[in-house]
């Protein structure tokens, strides 16, 4: 060899080494960057999700001193937490500045009003726009409403002014015609109806005012009518009217009487319940936001939640859950638009609870001496405390109380539901709606969709891969393999579109034929194989070795066509012409047009190319000397396949199945368009489902950034991320074990 040739060889070797080194560095760098990207996604999801698991906290905002008289009955603030108000049991009304942003010095009294009559009772309306009603010793009552007006005077900052409105006029309304003193009182109103419930020494009564618009003047004319409640034994401690004016709650000690007052002319007692906790006495009751639930506080610190549950065709008040406060509960302060509440127990112990998540979010002693009253602001963003003539305002950080580990992953008993359930229902048109954010139906739907897709895809894909990689001739394989692999290039949105708009109606219309096809196709293929094997060798030799699969093409087409053609006949004679009605009414299974059967077929069609391609490569890559040696030792082709080829290719086959499962778990568009997106937990193949991925795609564009809904959707993405990570980790572990076990073959 010449010197020039040697130099060229050495130069080529150096270039190859440099190229190999660069390729190695590039592959390593790419792998590290992929891992870094995955870690960044992981930690970003955690960053977005973390706030929903942070408990509530209070931050001091203002401390002020206001000269007040009497005992506080009702305490509150405006929506902006600028002005506080206080109604005393003696009738004194005070408005005072809480924040310099109101345009007034902190603690300054904006309005003070003293009673004109002797006040004997006081009550406020249910949460919403508050109204206060005072009952007097002469049997009359007056309704007042705190109101706030915010203006921006030229050249000045925001100015908040307070005033008292009189929704029913400035003159007191006569409740008791006999002039007895009002001892207990409740009031609620709608646009065309007002109801006063009151108690005197003569018993309990209702004053119902019905409004009717005068068609000439356009004014509403009110008619008043008194109704006496059935005799109540004992001293009435509390009266509560529901905002819909259908129910009156009367508490006498520990006994709660529930009256139906829809028709005041015939008031009926629905139920009488002992609502106290065991070995305790009731201290207070209050309606929760939405007025569907009742909170009952006891002197041992137990607060129970009650609401109506449908049992045996009848709605009954039922105790749902309990919360434990520190000591005897002196005051309840429900949130205005959520299902939470604050408590004052003992002398100065403040706690925040949330009902549906069944969680205590905050607990702490505030102050050194006994507190007189507490109140949550209308937006639940501030807590106002009174201690004699001192007031403290705290900012409340409690953005995601409805989300907890139990509400996400365990059954929750929601208002109006007959029992605890897993429910995903993030939005509603109702203002009283409570978001239900259980991830269990979504995780279940994800696994259900993947299960039916794999049930359809794995037998077809693996059987086809094994046949193509081991039995099929090279010429036929070169045509079949690219054809199947190109199926993977089909956009999943097209598959979902076809599944939702064509396949789902077709399956519903030909359901008996489709079910028959699922049975007859495998049976027909098996019988065809047995028949072909029984034919004389001379006839079988017409087809070259490895091309026998062509015999099945006309069989499959004929069976499929026959099943569809016979479907109307089967439906008419076996199901009285309505197979969907038979499934729904006779069997008791709900039938959705877009159901799991449609998803299984459509998503299975999308998964087949992935499983087929990887599994076929694994089977085809089995060394020929292994199969030839097995055949040479006398094994049949089937024995060689089952005991040599499949075992050797098992790591690749398992990887193919797990890759297909990962694709099915993360699929979005097909399940989005072909399932009906019903978040139910049912394994029925005729009912729909909702997956984690589809739910994120549907609801993320509509969610408010930073809201509980928004963050729970990111949590769903995190759960999906964890799902795929676990599946891939298990798959890699099992694949390595299989490779180690069969690598010596």
Residue 208 confidence (pLDDT): 92
Taking residues 688-710, what's their average pLDDT?
90
For β-strands 314-324 and 193-200, DSSP reports them as: unpaired
pLDDT at 430 > cutoff 80:
no
Q: Which residues does residue 395 pair with via DSSP β-bridges, in sequence order?
A: 59, 382
Q: By the 8 A CB rule, do 67 and 405 touch?
A: no
* Per-residue pLDDT band at 330 (split at 50, 70, 90): very high
> Could you give the percent of the chain with pLDDT greater than 90?
40
The two three-digit tokens of residue 165, written as one number = 């409105």
Rg (CA), the chain: 37
Nearest residue to 665 (alpha-carbon basis) of 598, 593, 606:
606
Q: Which residues does residue 280 pair with via DSSP β-bridges, in sequence order?
A: none
DSSP SS3 for 301:
coil
pLDDT at 21 > cutoff 70:
yes
Position with higher pLDDT, 101 vs 294: 294
> Could you give the percent of the chain with pLDDT greater than 70?
97
What DSSP string describes 364-420?
EE-SSS---EEEE-TTS-EEEEEETTEEEEEEEE-S-TT--HHHHHS-B--TT-SS-
Give how far Cα 687 sits from Cα of 97, 664, 681, 734, Å: 58, 18, 10, 34
pLDDT at 245 > cutoff 60:
yes
Residue 432 confidence (pLDDT): 65
Q: Which of the listed CATH numbers 1.10.3720.10, 3.40.1380.10, 3.80.30.10, 3.40.50.11540 matches domain 437-742?
A: 1.10.3720.10
Taking residues 180-201, what's their average pLDDT?
91
- Residue-averaged pLDDT of the chain: 88
Q: Which residues does residue 192 pair with via DSSP β-bridges, in sequence order?
A: none
Residue 461 confidence (pLDDT): 93
Neighbours of 401 (CB within 10 A): 25
Position with higher pLDDT, 42 vs 127: 42
The pTM (predicted TM-score) of the whole model is 0.87
**DSSP category for residue 229:** P
Distance CA 382, CA 380 (A): 6
pLDDT in tens, 616-650: 988 888 888 888 888 888 888 888 888 888 888 88
**What stretch of H or E contains 622?**
none
pLDDT in tens, 260-283: 999 888 899 998 999 999 999 999
pLDDT in tens, 26-40: 889 998 998 899 889
Taking residues 572-596, what's their average pLDDT?
84
Distance CA 286, CA 277 (A): 16
pLDDT at 669 > cutoff 70:
yes
Residue 3 confidence (pLDDT): 63
Taking residues 190-210, what's their average pLDDT?
90
Maximum average pLDDT range among 114-123, 362-371, 600-609: 600-609
Residue 628 confidence (pLDDT): 83
pLDDT at 214 > cutoff 80:
no
pLDDT at 149 > cutoff 60:
yes
Residue 364 confidence (pLDDT): 92
Q: By the 8 A CB rule, do 66 and 372 touch?
A: no
Position with higher pLDDT, 152 vs 12: 152
pLDDT at 360 > cutoff 90:
yes
Give how far Cα 525 sits from Cα of 134, 405, 456, 459, Å: 86, 50, 16, 13
Taking residues 666-674, what's their average pLDDT?
87
Taking residues 203-213, what's their average pLDDT?
88
Residue 676 confidence (pLDDT): 82
Distance CA 423, CA 409 (A): 10
Q: By the 8 A CB rule, do 592 and 687 touch?
A: yes
Could you tell me the residue ranges of all domains in the chain?
A: 437-742
């Amino acid at each position: 060899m010449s010197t020039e040739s040697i130099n060229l060889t050495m130069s080529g070797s150096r270039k190859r080494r440099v190229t190999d080194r660069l390729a190695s560095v590039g592959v390593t760098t790419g792998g590290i960057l992929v891992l870094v990207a995955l870690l960044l996604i992981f930690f970003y999801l955690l960053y977005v999700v973390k706030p929903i698991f942070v408990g509530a906290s209070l931050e001091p905002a203002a401390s002020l001193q206001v000269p007040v008289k009497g005992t506080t009955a009702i305490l509150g603030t405006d929506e902006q937490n600028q002005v506080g108000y206080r109604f005393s049991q003696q009738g004194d009304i005070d408005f005072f500045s809480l924040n310099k942003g109101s345009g007034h010095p902190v603690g300054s009294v904006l309005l003070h009003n003293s009673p004109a009559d002797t006040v004997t009772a006081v009550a406020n309306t249910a949460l919403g726009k508050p109204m206060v009603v005072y009952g007097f010793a002469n049997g009359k009552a007056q309704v007042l409403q705190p109101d706030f007006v915010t203006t921006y005077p030229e050249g000045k900052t925001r100015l908040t002014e307070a005033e008292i409105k009189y929704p029913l006029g400035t003159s007191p309304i006569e409740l008791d015609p006999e002039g007895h003193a009002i001892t207990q009182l409740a009031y609620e109103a709608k646009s065309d109806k007002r109801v006063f419930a009151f108690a005197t020494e003569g018993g309990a009564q209702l004053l119902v005012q019905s409004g009717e618009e005068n068609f000439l003047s356009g004014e509403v004319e009110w008619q008043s009518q008194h109704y006496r409640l059935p005799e109540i034994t004992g001293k009435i401690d509390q009266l509560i009217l529901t905002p819909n004016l259908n129910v009156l709650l009367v508490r006498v000690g520990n006994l709660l009487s529930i009256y139906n007052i829809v028709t005041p002319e015939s008031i009926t007692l629905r139920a009488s319940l002992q609502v106290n906790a065991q070995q305790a006495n009731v201290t207070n009751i209050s309606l929760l936001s939405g007025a569907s639930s009742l909170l009952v506080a006891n002197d041992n610190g137990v607060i129970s939640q009650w609401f109506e549950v449908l049992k045996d065709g009848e709605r009954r008040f039922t105790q749902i859950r309990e919360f434990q406060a520190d000591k005897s509960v002196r005051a309840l302060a429900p949130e205005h638009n959520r299902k939470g509440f604050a408590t004052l127990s003992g002398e100065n112990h403040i706690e925040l609870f949330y009902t549906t998540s069944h969680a205590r979010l905050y607990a702490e002693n505030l102050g050194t001496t006994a507190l007189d009253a507490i109140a949550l602001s209308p937006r639940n963003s501030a807590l106002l405390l009174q201690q004699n003539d001192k007031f403290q305002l705290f900012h409340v950080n409690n953005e995601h109380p409805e989300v907890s580990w139990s509400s996400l992953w365990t059954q929750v008993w929601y208002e109006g539901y007959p029992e605890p359930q897993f429910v995903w229902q993030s939005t509603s048109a109702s203002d009283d709606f409570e978001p239900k954010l259980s991830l269990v139906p979504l995780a279940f739907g994800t696994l259900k969709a993947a299960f039916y897709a794999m049930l359809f895809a794995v037998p077809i894909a693996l059987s086809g891969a094994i046949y193509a990689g081991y039995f099929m001739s090279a010429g036929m394989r070169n045509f079949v393999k690219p054809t199947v692999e190109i199926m993977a290039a089909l956009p999943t949105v097209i598959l979902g579109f076809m599944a939702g708009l064509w396949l789902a109606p077709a399956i519903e219309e030909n359901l008996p034929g489709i079910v028959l096809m699922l049975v007859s196709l495998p049976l027909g293929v098996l019988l065809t194989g047995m028949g072909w094997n029984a034919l004389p060798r001379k006839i079988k030799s017409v087809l070259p070795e490895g091309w026998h699969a062509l015999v099945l093409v006309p069989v499959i087409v004929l069976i499929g066509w026959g099943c569809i053609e016979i479907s109307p006949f089967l439906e008419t004679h076996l199901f009285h012409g309505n197979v969907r009605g038979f499934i729904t009414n006779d069997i008791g299974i709900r039938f959705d047009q877009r159901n799991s059967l449609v998803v299984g077929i459509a998503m299975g069609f999308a998964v087949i190319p992935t499983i087929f391609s990887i599994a076929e490569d694994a089977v085809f890559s089995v060394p020929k000397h292994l199969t030839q040696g097995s055949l040479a030792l006398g094994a049949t082709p089937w024995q060689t396949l089952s005991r040599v080829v499949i075992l050797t290719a098992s790591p690749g086959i398992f990887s193919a199945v797990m890759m297909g499962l990962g694709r099915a778990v993360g699929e979005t568009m097909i399940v989005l368009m072909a399932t009906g997106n019903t978040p139910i937990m049912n394994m029925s193949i005729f009912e729909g489902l909702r997956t984690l991925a589809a739910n994120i795609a549907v609801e993320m564009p509509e969610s408010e950034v930073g809201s509980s809904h928004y963050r729970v959707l990111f949590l769903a993405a995190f759960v999906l991320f964890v799902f795929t990570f676990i599946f891939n980790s298990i798959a890699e572990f099992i694949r390595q074990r299989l490779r180690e076990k069969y690598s010596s073959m």
